[in-house]
Amino acid sequence: MTVRLRLHPADVGSGLTSQRVRDRLIEDLRKMGIVDERVLNAIRTVPRHQFVDEVLATRAYENNALPIGFGQTISQPYVVAKMTEALLQCAPRRVLEVGTGSGYQAAVLAALGVQVYTVERIGELLRTARKRFRGLGLQVRSKHDDGRIGWPEEAPFEGIIVTAAGPALVDALIDQLAVDGVLVAPVGPAANQSLLCLRKQADGGIEQHDLGAVVFVPLLSGMTD
């Protein structure tokens, strides 16, 4: 990991947020097939318990999605690990994330030394996520917008990660992907979503494979405060 997090005593954790409990999660992720040590190390280091409400902190190192308010969820650690591993294949310098939510996925990428650009449609979630980035000393660029338009001024991105499921892949995002770049996105209706991984080839063609079934909140249009 190239970035040193600014960790306060509360980030280090104790009891159910202690290093021992986090190490158990890492072992579970290994058993589930996550092999990239950089990803495992980032998940071990980023204090996931600081990305959920205090009353849920003791459940932060269970391998589950958890509610973050506004009907949204922080993704399951396994899914964060899987998506991060898929993105790192192309050694991205800059990654666009659609769906900041708690900020956890963005923090894991930033801890790996990636320059993250993240977009969230719910203003209140974004404000809370920004405080978390600042607290950990992470440089994350963010904007309050409908992420389906991407971030054209900053495109192309070597990696794009969408953390909410749309009915189909979003063309504007594929357009903003660099050649040899990787886009990871869940696609499909609530009961039947697949995690798709796309790679853009030099001739503009797209190579696509399916990383398996997932459950994400829906990709919605417009913005709210």
Residues taking part in catalysis? 75
| DSSP letter (8 states) at residue 147 | G
Residue 62 structure tokens: 């269970």
Contact flag: residue 119 with ligand SAH (CB under 6 A)? yes
Comparing C-alpha atoms, which of 212, 197, 214 is closest to residue 84?
A: 197
Q: How far is the CB of 221 from ligand SAH (least distance, A)?
A: 6
Binding residue (CB under 6 A) for ligand SAH from 13, 47, 77, 101: 101
- Which residue's CB is nearer to ligand SAH, number 62 or number 180? 62
* From 41-49, 53-61, 68-76, 84-92, span contacting ligand SAH (CB under 6 A): 68-76
Q: Which stretch binds ligand SAH (CB under 6 A): 1-9, 29-37, 96-104, 193-201?
A: 96-104
> Per the structure block, which two tokens stand in for 210?
């399916």
Determine the residue type at 43. I
Q: Which residue in 98, 112, 114, 160 binds ligand SAH (CB under 6 A)?
A: 98
Q: To 5 degrees, how large is the angle CA 166–CA 170–CA 172?
A: 150
**Does 144 engage in binding with ligand SAH (CB under 6 A)?**
no
Least distance between ligand SAH and beta carbon 149 (Å): 9
Q: Is 122 in the site for ligand SAH (CB under 6 A)?
A: yes
Q: Out of 17, 84, 102, 176, which residue is the one contacting ligand SAH (CB under 6 A)?
A: 102
Is 46 an interacting residue with respect to ligand SAH (CB under 6 A)? no
Q: Decide: is 47 part of the binding site for ligand SAH (CB under 6 A).
A: no
- Taking the C-alpha atoms of residue 70 and residue 58, their distance in angstroms, rounded to an integer, is 21
Distance CA 56, CA 163 (A): 21
As a whole number of angstroms, the distance between CA 179 and CA 159 comes to 10
Determine the Cα angle at 111 with ends 110 and 116, to 5°.
Answer: 5
Among 28, 146, 154, 180, binds ligand SAH (CB under 6 A): 146
From 38-46, 84-92, 101-109, 179-187, span contacting ligand SAH (CB under 6 A) = 101-109
- Could you give the CA distance from residue 217 to residue 186 in angstroms, rounded to a whole number? 10
Site for ligand SAH contains 142 (CB under 6 A):
no
Closest CA to 144 of 128, 157, 155, 165: 128
CB 151 within 8 A of CB 96: yes
Shortest distance, position 202 Cβ to ligand SAH, whole Å: 29
12: phi then psi, degrees, rounded to nearest 5: -70, -35
Query: Which residues sit at the interface with ligand SAH, rule CB under 6 A?
Result: 72-75, 98-99, 101-102, 104-105, 119-122, 125, 146-148, 163-164, 217, 219-220
